[in-house]
Amino acid sequence: MKLYRTNQGIIIEASEKFYLSNATNWDTYINQDNLFEVLSSDIQSLSPISWNGEGVLAPIVNQEIWASGVTYMRSREARMEESQDSGGADFYAKVYEAERPELFFKSTAARCMGTGEKVRIRKDSAWNVPEPELTLMITSSGKIVGYTIGNDMSSRDIEGENPLYLPQAKSYDKAAAIGPCVYVPKDEISLDTQISIEILRGGNSMFSNSIAINRMKRKLADLAHYLFREMSFPNGAFLMTGTGIVPDNDFTLLSGDVVNITIEGIGTLSNEVE
């Protein structure tokens, strides 16, 4: 089942049919520990509508977006390379092995974009990449009830200069995108699910790659558990789970590039760089 936040209201997709929900409060809807059952029950009293997929908004209203780091070997390697001169490389090797994951604050809802909206690169950075990440929707009680696609836009020169600059490399206006929907399966997402990215420049493919979630070193539930250890999220939270794909070091995003991130079963998050 899928849940879309749209300019018409909340649309539920089930068995390739669309239903306009009577629910008006997104926060309440996504903060349900038994969301799959709630949606299954709601569509019983609704009639299918025809919807062409237009008017999709970022699936977030009052949630914070947090992110996990160095959860895949490729991220560990890339961070170690970019931070070699600063002496920060060891920290990335250590956090990859450590029991405690790296978790950082990524974005408020207001700074986050939906599919079809523009993301940004910082003006004071010359080396930028998108990071395609499976993103967890977690309820206030800490239960993972849904999944979406996240783009953790990152300034590699800033985080490479000094690991303490990480918040500036990661958090700025339009540095995060999530969407297009929240995927709400009956059971947990399959770890064989593929995450793919393609970056287009002038319509030509500049970079593409894909990776399965099962290449992640950590368990999804452990990441959620650490985030909720000493913090409460009354309206739930989103948690990006880290990237397993980083372009080679000679690649940087440019204004006008289009970033398409696809996760099997969820859809495609598409954002042009402003």
Binder to ligand DO4 among 69, 114, 132, 236 (CB under 6 A)? 69
* CB-based contacts of 43, cutoff 8 Å, min separation 6: 12, 14, 19
Residue 70, binding choice from ligand DO4, Mg ion, none, Cβ under 5 to 8 Å by partner class: ligand DO4
- Interface with ligand DO4 includes 35 (CB under 6 A)? no
Structure tokens at 205: 């493919």
Min dist. Cβ of residue 111 to ligand DO4 (A): 16
Min dist. Cβ of residue 253 to ligand DO4 (A): 15
Could you tell me where the beta strands, DSSP code E, fall in the chain? Answer: 2-6, 9-14, 17-20, 64-69, 102-107, 112-113, 128-129, 132-138, 144-152, 154-155, 176-183, 194-201, 204-212, 237-240, 258-263, 267-272
- Interface with Mg ion includes 71 (CB under 5 A)? no
Binder to ligand DO4 among 79, 120, 156, 174 (CB under 6 A)? 79
Nearer to ligand DO4, 243 or 270 (CB): 243
- Interface with ligand DO4 includes 64 (CB under 6 A)? no
Nearer to ligand DO4, 242 or 267 (CB): 242
Q: Which residue has the tokens 């996760």?
A: 263
Number of residues that bind ligand DO4 (CB under 6 A): 13
* Cis peptide bond N-terminal to 180, omega within 30: yes
Structure tokens at 163: 């690991």
Nearer to Mg ion, 10 or 216 (CB): 216
Whether 180 and 115 have beta carbons less than 8 Å apart is answered as yes
**Touching Mg ion, residues 189-218 (CB under 5 A):** none
- Interface with ligand DO4 includes 161 (CB under 6 A)? no
Q: Which residue has the tokens 């009052």?
A: 62
The mark string for 243-262 relative to Mg ion (x by CB under 5 A, - otherwise) is: x-------------------
Residues in the chain: 274
- Interface with ligand DO4 includes 179 (CB under 6 A)? no
- Interface with ligand DO4 includes 130 (CB under 6 A)? no
Min dist. Cβ of residue 73 to ligand DO4 (A): 10
Whether 176 and 109 have beta carbons less than 8 Å apart is answered as no
Binder to ligand DO4 among 131, 161, 198, 257 (CB under 6 A)? 131
Query: Side chain identity at 11, as an amino acid letter?
Result: I
- Interface with Mg ion includes 115 (CB under 5 A)? no
Of the CA atoms within 13 Å of residue 137, those in its CB half-sphere come to: 34
Crossing angle of the two packed helices 89-97 and 73-82, in degrees rounded to 10: 160
3-state secondary structure of 119: strand
The mark string for 237-266 relative to ligand DO4 (x by CB under 6 A, - otherwise) is: -----xx-----------------------
Residues that bind Mg ion (CB under 5 A): 131, 152, 243
